[in-house]
Structure 1
Amino acid sequence: MNQGALRPEVLSAADLIDRLCPANGAPYSVEHYAEIFGLSPAVFTRQVAAYRRSQPDAASASDAEAIQRYIADVLRVILVVAESGVAVERAITWFRLEPLPTFEQQTAEQLISQGQIERLLQFLASWQGGSQG
Structure 2
Amino acid sequence: MAAEATPDQSLAAAAELPRVFDLAHQLCEVVNGRPILSPAKFIEMMGLDSDAFASNALVRRDTITRSPAGIQSHIRTTLQVLAAVMGSMGDDFQAGIFWYRNEPLAVFDYKTAETLVTKRRAANVVDLRFCGVSSLELIVDL
How do residues 111-126 of structure 1 correspond to structure 2 at under 5 angstroms? 111-126=116-131
In structure 2, relative to structure 1, the CA distance for the partners of 1:65 and 1:101 (3 Å cut) is same
- Please identify which structure carries the higher strand content: 2
Deviation for aligned residue 1:15 = 5.3
Residue 105 of structure 2 corresponds to 100
1:29 equivalent in alignment to 2:34: no
Residue 85 of structure 2 corresponds to 81
Bigger radius of gyration, 1 or 2? 2
* Gaps in structure 1 of 5+ consecutive residues: 1-12, 51-61
What is the letter of the counterpart of residue 27 of structure 1?
Answer: I
Higher relative contact order (CA 8 A, sep 6+): 1
1:47 equivalent in alignment to 2:79: no
Q: Aligned partners of 1:78 and 1:99: how far apart in 2?
A: 16
Cα RMSD after superposing both structures: 2.4
Q: Number of paired residues?
A: 109
Which TM-score applies when normalising by structure 2? Answer: 0.67
* Gaps in structure 2 of 5+ consecutive residues: 1-18, 60-65, 138-142
